[in-house]
Structure 1
Amino acid sequence: MVKITDVARHAGVSPSTVSYALSGKRPISAQTRRRVEASIRELGYRPHAGARALASSRSNVLALVIPLRTGIHVPVVMQFAVSVVTSARRYDHDVLLLTQEEGEEGLRRVADTALCDALIVMDVQLDDPRLPLLRSLDRPSVMIGLPLEAAGLTCVDLDFKAAGELCVERLAGLGHRVVALVGSPPEVYVRRTAFAQRVVQGFTAAADRHRLVSSVHPCGATPAAARQVAERLLREQPALTGVVVHNEAALEPLLDAFEQLGLRVPADLSLTAICPDELAAALPVPVTSVDLPSAELGERAVDLLMAKLGGTEAPEVTLLAPRLTERASTAPRTVG
């Protein structure tokens, strides 16, 4: 590992001069600064976080707030986290991951220290109690999620309402007249989590527009819960031929349950989902799906945050348009 003393020796200056060049605490000549900078580049020296903080009056750390509440599908959440970390490294920033129930008190605790320069907040609720604090903080923040009132905030998300609509539009276009949404676990709806609520809004709006018979069914994240929902659907809606799934953990168990109940996908039941493409494509029956673009959302969130740190004004709302990929799980409704 290259040390500051190695840079000093290579540049022919004292270690304190290198430190001053990094921190700007004392003036040095332009010629000396250029010599130090050239040595840093040639040797590949990377100042530690403390030195970077001295140079910029920043920690070069972003806080990523992901409360791991019940009903959250951790593998998908971690895709977001990896994307944020990878994108932050492009800006030479590290990421502090906060996974507890970080409400207002937790955010205030972090904001009142020098631990981070800015925050990315996930698991956003429609009436999120953290909003007033985020608006008042003296450091930038970006939400991956869209609350009801976005004024004074910076939010980026998939357009989940449009995603719900798109799934129904596809089923309606194939002639299906009775459809159901198998949604997130019940506790996610109880918390009024924004993405889940918006999918329901889009699903219901599109179904009403096409005059379809429709219903919404929260589903736990276990095979047993998926089986119960499948049995209920067939009992209460015997004419059902189209299903939208917005629950990554329940997707494969639902396919298994429908098969065990004697329904073939897509011959008897067409199924679409909102989930990561790699999950939809890897199932025994590849599922027609709207991708959950966690990599792009994480990257967009970091880009917006770094722009705000640089003094650039960011839009209040950035919504990514949903993209549906047709696979083997959907087919025209069989009449007869």
Structure 2
Amino acid sequence: MVTLAEVAKHAGVSASTVSYVLSGKRSISRSTRERVELSIEALGYHPNAGARALASSKSNIIALMMPLRTDMYVPVMMEIALAVTTAARAHGYDVLLLTGEEGPAAVRRVTGSGMADAMILMDVELDDERLPLLRESKMPAVLIGMPSDPAGLTCVDLDFAATGALCAEHLAALGHREIAVIGEAPAVYERHTGFAERTLEGLRRKSRELGLRLLHRPSQGGHDAMTATLTRVFDERPGTSGFIVQNESAVEPLLGLLRRQGRAVPEDVSVVAICAGPVALQASVQLTAVSIPAEQMGRRAVEHVVTKLAGRAEDVVELIVPELTVRASSGPAPE
């Protein structure tokens, strides 16, 4: 069995430094922490969770609430979950994955049972029913997402309002004035899911500022739904020359329908996406896009949780600055 001392020797640090990385009880530089985490992974080090739990009256488990819904793009959520699990193991914690749509009941079960030391919540709504219980409990918790009122909470998220604004700015700079937004499924907006609502907020604000005509149409994705959505867009706004897509399942149907209509991308129509990185790169036309920083979001959520468990954290909102990568799907507006 690999020992903590062997990890320390492999990483070129002291045993106490490895212990602090695992426990989060002291601030360790990012480069040192990453070196230790790589050594832990390379050597296959596994802290004795049972002994640690007995000694500390802790479970050494982080509960991850990730409701799996048919109207959400599951691969991104699984990428975040994988990042949470990997980061948690590097800090000596296991992850209890809760995928049901239980809402407050699941929070009550975790906080009242001692089955976990902390919680990470995903799929956050603006007025999320889980949050009053979370605020009342003393359990350390972090949201991947942001509600309308983040007071008393720690949140990690992509700055989706800035993301929407960035996409609008890009198309405006290319001369586009009529923009259609192909959004998530209607149920996502009916639940007032935070990331979707904040993207729209940023898009609308920047469009007003830049004098763009913006049309938002939710879509289930898939060929049939996208056919109806695209027909409606061009019926209502025949001059639409720019699309912003925030729905991975709508990307390829949209590109295929535009192609069949004789609308070349990007010569006739530009397409910008807010999506998982592989979706942008593997599309039939490589997409200009803001990629979802899933790995970073999951890792930072765990780091905040570990800091909270060490009793050294105040509540913060960490919004990751969006980066737009220009590829083949966007170009100057047609004259």
Residue of structure 2 equivalent to 1:272: 272
The whole-number CA distance in structure 1 between the counterparts of 2:90 and 2:65 is 20
Contact 1:304-1:314 within 8 A present in 2 as well: no
Aligned ranges 1:295-334 → 2 under 5 Å: 295-334=295-334
**Would you say how many aligned residue pairs link Structure 1 and Structure 2?**
296
Give secondary structure in 2 for the equivalent of 1:50.
Answer: helix
Give secondary structure in 1 for the equivalent of 2:133.
Answer: helix
The reply on whether 1:108 has 2:108 as its aligned counterpart is yes
Residue of structure 2 equivalent to 1:291: 291
Residue of structure 1 equivalent to 2:51: 51
Residue of structure 2 equivalent to 1:188: 188
The whole-number CA distance in structure 1 between the counterparts of 2:235 and 2:65 is 41
Q: Which stretches in structure 1 are left out of the alignment for 5+ residues?
A: 3-43
1:159 to partner: Cα distance: 0.3
Contact 1:180-1:244 within 8 A present in 2 as well: yes
The whole-number CA distance in structure 2 between the counterparts of 1:230 and 1:45 is 53
Higher deviation after alignment, 318-327 or 277-286: 277-286
Residue of structure 1 equivalent to 2:60: 60
The whole-number CA distance in structure 2 between the counterparts of 1:176 and 1:315 is 41
TM-score between the two structures when normalised by the length of structure 2: 0.85
The whole-number CA distance in structure 2 between the counterparts of 1:158 and 1:229 is 27
Deviations 1:29-71 (A, max 9, x none): xxxxxxxxxxxxxxx9856432220122211110000111231
Q: What root-mean-square deviation, in Å, do the aligned CA atoms of Structure 1 and Structure 2 show?
A: 1.7
The whole-number CA distance in structure 2 between the counterparts of 1:179 and 1:270 is 9
Give secondary structure in 1 for the equivalent of 2:113.
Answer: coil
The whole-number CA distance in structure 2 between the counterparts of 1:193 and 1:59 is 31
Deviations 1:253-282 (A, max 9, x none): 111111112211101100101112222011
Residue of structure 2 equivalent to 1:212: 212
Contact 2:178-2:214 within 8 A present in 1 as well: yes
Contact 2:49-2:92 within 8 A present in 1 as well: no
Seen in structure 2, the aligned counterparts of structure 1 residues 47 and 127 have a Cα distance that, compared at 3 Å, is: closer
Give secondary structure in 2 for the equivalent of 1:112.
Answer: helix
Residue of structure 2 equivalent to 1:40: none
The whole-number CA distance in structure 2 between the counterparts of 1:277 and 1:227 is 25
Residue of structure 1 equivalent to 2:252: 252
The whole-number CA distance in structure 2 between the counterparts of 1:237 and 1:94 is 51
Deviations 1:165-186 (A, max 9, x none): 1000000000001001111100
The whole-number CA distance in structure 1 between the counterparts of 2:285 and 2:322 is 22
Counterpart amino acid of 1:330? S
The whole-number CA distance in structure 2 between the counterparts of 1:314 and 1:299 is 18
Q: Which stretches in structure 2 are left out of the alignment for 5+ residues?
A: 3-43
1:222 to partner: Cα distance: 2.1
TM-score between the two structures when normalised by the length of structure 1: 0.85
Residue of structure 2 equivalent to 1:239: 239
Residue of structure 2 equivalent to 1:224: 224
Contact 2:248-2:275 within 8 A present in 1 as well: yes
The whole-number CA distance in structure 1 between the counterparts of 2:321 and 2:170 is 16
Q: Percent identity?
A: 47
Higher deviation after alignment, 180-189 or 258-267: 258-267
The whole-number CA distance in structure 2 between the counterparts of 1:306 and 1:139 is 12
Give secondary structure in 1 for the equivalent of 2:230.
Answer: helix
Computing the radius of gyration from Cα coordinates, the structure with the larger value is 1
1:102 to partner: Cα distance: 2.6
